[in-house]
Amino acid sequence: MFDEMRHNAELRAGWQSVADWLNATDLESLRQKKAEAEALFRRIGITFAVYGEGGDPERLIPFDLIPRVFSAGEWARIEAGVKQRARALNLFIHDVYNAGEIFKAGIVPREAVNANDAYQALMKDFSPPRNVYTHVVGIDLIRTGPDELFVLEDNCRTPSGISYVLENREIMTRLFPELFAGGNIRPVDTYGDLLRKALNETAPENCPQTPNIVVLTPGHFNSAYYEHSFLADEMGVTLVQGSDLFVENNVVYMRTTLGPERVDVIYRRIDDAFLDPQAFRPDSMLGVPGLMDAYKAGTVTIANAPGAGVADDKAIYCYMPEIIRHYLGEEPLLPNVETYRCAIPDEYAYAMANMKHLVFKEVHGSGGYGMLIGPQASTSEIEAYAHRVRKNPAGFIAQPTLALSTCPSLVEEGIAPRHVDLRPFALVGADVRLIPGGLTRVAMREGSLVVNSSQGGGVKDTWVMRK
């Protein structure tokens, strides 16, 4: 198992300052600082709730004080690979809803897209400004060795977690300013500016003014509401709910005390189904009636675009290496995890014969739900899951159980290794841009490979070193 701080008993590049800090700080002091961090998070209001979940609706995501470190060279590779992936994903979505060349070339079967619940037929033959469909892309990465980085999942709809990236850094600089004094840790506080720049660049082509941007939230009961309000503040734009907006003559307006104000870009944090009751779910109270008519008329940009989810389905994930080669003429810089598609008879047979060694996932699943981790499952759990797969093979994929890398983490027992993943966020406008860092999620339970916040995972600050 690869430990990112020490490899073959040697301290890895970039980790010296962390090692010195941990050697100079006793465990009790770290625990006191952790309590201070939790108090700050609660005071700021960074809480996380899951719909239908009992317990504390204002619970905190566990915050691990010990940062994760990437050297300049490591980050350069990640950045290039994520940018490549984001470009290919947008080209794929545009092609799916327009010429369909990827289908004609026999690279992706048309039914793999058309059968996807995220496919939105009303997007057919429509191209948004600059052909950008997914303006914010979250690429989930895992690591198994010094040079072994893999893409685990693409997130093209409304990827969340960036508020933790920025607030984790804010808390760390407050609690441990001495760690940042040398200036060797690259800052992440430009995210709001970069997001606004990307949204400005993808505003409607005939936008009559400096684009008026709003963040559309379903409201304060949503588990990510803090992030919605945080991002509105970071960009200096208005946070709105559906009831704050209306459409007239295919133009979107915001209600204000001074009268209607035209809206040019909507960064939405509402699922497709709830965006417009006239186009999608008629019972939605969260969206804006007529919004899709305005969008199709080209008077407003919706970020991320409706229907962008066709690209982050786990069935499409399997084709991403070929998708990158087809659209960009390049080899993938970040490879996929080996994946068995249960919709394909030979791969299905292998996966079913090796269930106790593999991880099974629902094609449309997310958040760590609906998974089977074979090596950690009981015989009865495997049998029950096998029954589900047999009923609908096309609804599942299987992957090897990889030994995710570990980072030192502060847990009840002291400092111990825990498994981590990484979600960098790519912002797509006229270009693709990243801040130097991302959301490091950590499985706080010993031996656990599930890092999702909804499943008890925590977060930690991610450092990218200048040299």
Tell me the H-state helices in 115-238: 162-175, 191-201, 225-235
345 and 455 inside one domain = no
SS3 for 379-404 is HHHHHHHHHHHHHCHHHEEEEECCCC
165 and 137 inside one domain = yes
Residue 431 lies in a domain: yes
324 and 392 inside one domain = no
Write out the two tokens for 82: 């994520």
Residue 407 lies in a domain: no
Residue 86 lies in a domain: yes
377 and 323 inside one domain = no
41 and 129 inside one domain = yes
* Residue 95 DSSP class: H
3-class DSSP state of 447: coil
84 and 162 inside one domain = yes
344 and 440 inside one domain = no
CB-CB contact of 97 with 123 (8 Å): yes
Chosen domain end from 372, 400, 428? 400
Contacts of 122 (CB under 8 A, 6+ apart): 279, 292, 296, 306, 307
CA 440, 445, 447, 450 torsion-angle sign: negative
Residue 118 lies in a domain: yes
Q: How many domains would you assign to the chain? A: 2
Residue 89 lies in a domain: yes
366 and 454 inside one domain = no
- Cα separations (Å) of 184 from 22, 343, 408? 18, 48, 21
In tens digits, the chain (467 residues) has pLDDT values of 899 999 988 999 999 999 999 999 999 999 999 999 999 988 887 766 554 444 455 667 889 999 999 999 999 999 999 999 999 999 999 999 999 999 999 999 998 898 888 999 999 999 999 999 999 999 999 999 999 999 999 999 999 999 999 999 999 999 999 999 989 999 999 999 999 999 999 999 888 789 999 999 999 888 889 999 999 999 999 999 999 999 999 999 999 999 999 999 999 999 999 999 999 999 999 999 999 999 999 999 999 999 999 998 888 999 999 999 999 999 999 999 999 999 999 999 999 999 999 999 998 766 566 889 999 899 999 999 999 999 999 999 999 988 899 999 999 899 999 999 999 999 999 999 999 999 999 998 888 877 877 667 899 999 999 98
Write out the two tokens for 209: 């003014």
Write out the two tokens for 300: 């407003």
40 and 99 inside one domain = yes
318 and 344 inside one domain = no
Residue 327 lies in a domain: yes
CB atoms within 10 A of CB 432: 19
User: Whole-prediction pTM value?
Assistant: 0.94
Q: What is the CATH number of the domain that holds 347?
A: 3.30.1490.270
CB atoms within 10 A of CB 261: 13
Phi, psi dihedrals of residue 361, rounded to the nearest 5°: -135, 150
Write out the two tokens for 77: 């590779």
Residue 356 lies in a domain: yes
354 and 455 inside one domain = no
Q: Which amino acid, one-letter code, is at 137?
A: V
440 and 384 inside one domain = no
Write out the two tokens for 364: 């449309």
Residue 392 lies in a domain: yes
HSE-CB for 382 with a 13 A CA cutoff: 16
For 378, the domain range is 340-400
